[in-house]
Amino acid sequence: MCFNCVILSLVGLAFARDDAISLLQSRAVVHSHSNASQPDWQHKWMFNTCASDAFHPGWRALLNYSEEELGYCRCWGSGHCSHVPFDQRPISHKEERHYQHNGVGASRYAKAADGSWEIQIFQCGCEPLGCQVGVAVKVQGVTVEVSMENPPRCFVNGVEQPQNQYGKVQGKGDLPNGFHWWCPESPNEDFCAMYEGQFLSNTNMWYYHSNVNQVTGIPRSVAVQEAGTVCYDSSSANNPEILFGIEISQTAIVPADEVIFTPAALAALTRDGTRCGVQHQEPVNPNGPQTPEATCNEHGANLTRAQEVCAPLKDDHPGFYDDCCVDECLRQDPDEEDDIEGMAEDDEPKNCSDLPQYCSDLPQFTLKQPVYSNLGGAGPDDGEAAILYPDAGLIDGELVDVKLTSDDFQSHKAALNGVAGDLGVLNHQPGTNGTLTFTVVSKAGEEISVDGMAITVLDLDEGKRGKGRAKVTVCDASCVEAGTELTTTSVVGGCQTVSSSKHGKADNNPTTVAAVSGDQKRRAVTLIYSAGSSFSFSIEHGSASSGGRNLLFALDPSLC
């Protein structure tokens, strides 16, 4: 049977969500990638339920990438694009920087270089801003679309998917070519689309009427069309900054003959005679979005009320305050501030103090006298090149060990490696750096996944005139909490480096986890990791005149 025949035979079929006919049971391919930063892809403002086996297990292969290895594109609200693959700088509300896409009708979000797949978004309904109300995903002749209704309406090749007796949309498909989709049953659920090995897409927050959240992840190894797309057209980086961000190039708005939305979906999207159905190669407002004052006046909204609703953003998120006021004038929605603040905070680096639940809910581990100590094969013991800390914690009622390994850590005096009281200690050779990996293992030596891990590195100080300066670099921590005497910098790939800044003395070194003083906390950093079995960071000590530098650590959130 030819593949095109299979595709054509599917036109008009309704796919039940709970009783989906799986035409292909594919197994996720596990990739081996670097230990660089990997965000919480399952966050509700990222891929949410689309990054779950309930949708399709193939999501694991597509999201088994670090942030710099995955082209991650996210546009939300009234055309605010806070992550684009051509500009991966982290968003900071203090810098007030993001991109703004004000389109009319269909815009090309992303597209394969060979044309085998394409994603388009649909904006309208709240001039002068571009508010997304729909999305279409086309893969090798099959187009799945969702338009904003209550519940959202889902179309497969122009055929609307039915609702069950409870008014919920029924639509899930798994095709032999690796194209999978999942229509949202209600405004609270996600529209998921995945083409195995190519992309994973999530569209959610349909309940915000005309301000959905659009997220797409495409491995950088996939060849994509760059020009004329929201996500990949690097010419946007040279555009002027309009009121709410740098303007996305209007060439992303596609001509009418290149729209992949079907007539049935367009009829739903162009209701009420809006400009949505007209394709223009021009911005909604060539001068950029209006001010809150002008928008409120135009729509007869109360500016003072809008400012009151959005007031909590003014100090903490100034880059989004005016944005919130404009949207409030357009929608007059009292939940506007909570919506924008949550999304803004999700785009910012988090401190552990912002996430107290991480500290209270983490597994507890204690370091004891090692069974053997042979880190990097440097001794003093024989056998495996590692340090094994026994009976470190209790996971699901079973005692587990913690194994410390490194391929490049250089010990000065390996005989000193192990523990000092209940603190881990490594004697490091100055002028070198190395990566340390802590792995939770069973008594049989098998890796055990835990809900998270906290590692606190203590006594980060230096000698006179900065000799022997200590630096800790982490790329996959959920948050980093550094003491006040330390300096923190961000490096390429979303990693963070914490450095000592003051001369230290031996008489103020910590001796136990239970009695870390306020003074000692000022020279410590706590790294909080999300779920996994292995957790890594790098340590560097600058050159010193003589002797080794002791690295003290604990598997404990001491700074929380």
Residue-level pLDDT at 418: 95
Highest mean pLDDT among 192-196, 478-482, 502-506, 555-559: 192-196
Q: Band of the pLDDT at 271, cuts 50, 70, 90?
A: low
Pairing of strands 132-139, 153-156: unpaired
pLDDT at 8 exceeding the cut of 90: no
- Quote the percentage of the chain above a pLDDT of 90: 35
pLDDT at 367 exceeding the cut of 70: yes
Q: Band of the pLDDT at 278, cuts 50, 70, 90?
A: low
Distance in angstroms (rounded) separating the CA atoms of residues 265 and 156: 10
Residue-level pLDDT at 411: 95
Q: Band of the pLDDT at 272, cuts 50, 70, 90?
A: low
Residue-level pLDDT at 316: 58
- 91-101: average pLDDT: 57
Residue-level pLDDT at 308: 84
pLDDT at 168 exceeding the cut of 80: no
Residue-level pLDDT at 547: 82
Residue-level pLDDT at 435: 95
Give the chain's largest Cα–Cα span. Answer: 79
pLDDT at 282 exceeding the cut of 60: no
pTM of the model: 0.52
Peptide bond into 128 cis (omega under 30): yes
**Residue 110 in contact with residue 232, Cβ under 8 Å?**
yes
pLDDT, tens digit, for every residue of 37-94? 456 788 878 898 899 888 999 888 888 877 678 888 988 877 888 889 988 665 443 3
Q: Band of the pLDDT at 128, cuts 50, 70, 90?
A: low
Structure-model confidence comparison of residues 221 and 97, the more confident one? 221
DSSP string spanning 86-109? Answer: TB-PPP-TTTT--EE---SEEEEE
Q: How far apart are the first and last CA of the chain?
A: 61
* Average pLDDT along the chain: 79
pLDDT at 229 exceeding the cut of 90: yes
Tell me which residue of 2, 4, 14, 277 sits closest to 157, measured CA to CA. Answer: 14
Of the given ranges (161-165, 329-333, 479-483), which has the lowest mean pLDDT?
329-333
Q: How many CA atoms lie within 13 A of 78 on its CB side?
A: 25
Residue-level pLDDT at 69: 83
Highest mean pLDDT among 33-37, 115-119, 150-154: 115-119
Residue-level pLDDT at 127: 55
DSSP string spanning 273-341? Answer: G-GGG---SS-SSTT-SPPHHHHHHHHT--HHHHHHHHHHHHHH-HHHHHHHHHHHHHH--TTHHHHHH
Residue-level pLDDT at 113: 95
DSSP-assigned beta bridge partners for residue 213: 76, 204
pLDDT at 368 exceeding the cut of 90: yes
Distance in angstroms (rounded) separating the CA atoms of residues 368 and 346: 38
pLDDT at 254 exceeding the cut of 70: yes
pLDDT, tens digit, for every residue of 418-446? 999 889 999 999 999 999 999 999 999 99
Distance in angstroms (rounded) separating the CA atoms of residues 193 and 108: 16
pLDDT at 370 exceeding the cut of 60: yes
pLDDT, tens digit, for every residue of 475-528? 888 888 888 888 877 554 457 889 998 887 766 788 888 788 888 988 999 999
pLDDT at 170 exceeding the cut of 80: no
Residue-level pLDDT at 91: 43
**Residue 529 in contact with residue 480, Cβ under 8 Å?**
no
pLDDT at 288 exceeding the cut of 80: no
Residue-level pLDDT at 2: 36
Highest mean pLDDT among 32-41, 156-165, 206-215, 261-270: 261-270
Structure-model confidence comparison of residues 339 and 239, the more confident one? 239
User: How many other CB atoms are there within 10 angstroms of residue 9's CB atom?
Assistant: 10
Q: Band of the pLDDT at 471, cuts 50, 70, 90?
A: very high
- 525-546: average pLDDT: 89
Residue-level pLDDT at 320: 63
